[in-house]
Homo-oligomer: A and B are copies of this chain.
Amino acid sequence: MDPTPPRNNAVTVADVARMAGVSKATAARVLGGYGTVSDRVREAVTLAARNLNYRPNELARSMTTGRSGTIGVVVGDIENPFFSLAVRGITDIARQAGFTVILTNSGENTETEKAAIRALLAKRVDGLIVSPAMESDVDHLEEAIRSGCPMVLLDRGSRTLGVDTVVADDGHAAEDITRRLIAGGHRRIAYLTACDTPDHRFRLPSDISTGSVRRRIEGFLRACHEAGLSGMEDWVRLGALTPAETQRIVTAMLTDKHAPTAIIASDSVIGLDVFKICRDRGIDIPRDLSLVSFHDADWTSVTTPPVTVVRQPVYQLGEKAAKLLVERLNGNGGPASRVVLKTELVERASVADIPAEQMSEARQEKV
């Protein structure tokens, strides 16, 4: 027994082959688990590998096979519970299918996203799962696809890119909750999102480059229009990128003569910020203000009052995206599919109807 452990792990198939007294090719066959080898040789090679503490070099393997066993994921912000959960769904499926995941943050910035895609492509990932920061700027994605890298879009789609897409039913979700608010007598309903436009003002849904948010705003406006409410575009507020920005926007709205009676938060991070601001300003939810948030984050059920939310199947969103990608990677062709996962309105206690007398008052103001 030679107890001297190999210092540098520069053990290669050649070393193992030499020790086992076979050719490099044969050793590689048993080590790589391909081809056919006699049991005797297999044993000898396995033993030698163990003795030498052989570690396969995936890089070299990838070089020849062309597959890296890696999936690249680009999300807006891992810190956002929405993405953490989706990423969890992705990695669970990926690992199950024998892939590892390289995770990158775009910070919802297209330039960073481009750099990330480039780096991922350079690392020769087998496939890509992306939440595009901007639907309007997807040249880098298109190029990645053209170069032969399968891609699945997560949470945000693209009409021009013909790729597999997994999104939630955001439009209908927004429509439902808006209808619900209107039925409760609300007329001044604000929709608050982190998305932004150059001049920070909202005019048309097409100005919104984040697909999921655009679909929600469209749903919001659809419900408003259906109820005969006009000019609701003014209630779509953009740029809630940071707690400070959110505070500025919400405070401005709340101190205005025409303060909203309800706020729809586009994600749970903003929802939490709004909740904090209300608490700090002594605004009673839902008496003074109704609040609805997208994403059923863990904390929403535990506040006073608990928050009414749109529950998206976030983990499943990630799972489904990974499954679609793995299928493609396994050679299953076919046309690009668009999967739309159902959402669910979870009514808790942060929404209240507007009393009748205030309703007429509200109507007067509208006129």
Which A residues are closer than 8 A to B by beta carbons?
2-9, 53, 55-60, 62-63, 65-68, 70, 78-79, 81, 84-85, 87-88, 91-92, 95, 100-105, 118-124, 143, 146-150, 269, 272, 275-276, 279, 297-299, 301-304, 329-331
Question: Contact at B301–A303, with CB atoms within 8 Å?
Answer: no
- Copies in the assembly, this chain: 2
- Among A67, A123, A304, A329: residue with most chain B CB under 10 A: A123
CA distance A122 to B11 in the complex (A): 12
A104 to chain B, nearest CB (A): 7
**At the interface, is chain A mostly helix, strand, loop or mixed?**
mixed
B65 contacts A4, C-beta separation under 8 Å:
yes
Closest to A306 in B: B279
The smallest C-beta distance from A96 to any residue of chain B, in angstroms, reads 12
Let me know if B91 and A5 touch, CB within 8 A.
no
Q: Does the CB pair A59–B123 fall under 8 Å?
A: yes
Residue pair A59, B68 in contact (C-beta under 8 Å): yes
Residues on the B chain within 8 Å of A150, using CB: 5
Contact, CB under 8 Å: A57 / B102: no
Taking a contact as CB atoms under 8 Å apart, the answer to whether B301 and A304 are in contact is no
Please report the C-alpha to C-alpha distance between residue A53 and residue B140 in the assembled complex, in whole angstroms. Answer: 12
Q: Which residues of B contact A118 (CB under 8 A)?
A: 55
Tell me which of B59, B84, B104 contacts A62 (CB under 8 A): B59
9 nearest A-B residue pairs (beta carbon) = A299-B299, A304-B304, A9-B147, A58-B122, A7-B148, A4-B66, A2-B331, A103-B103, A58-B123
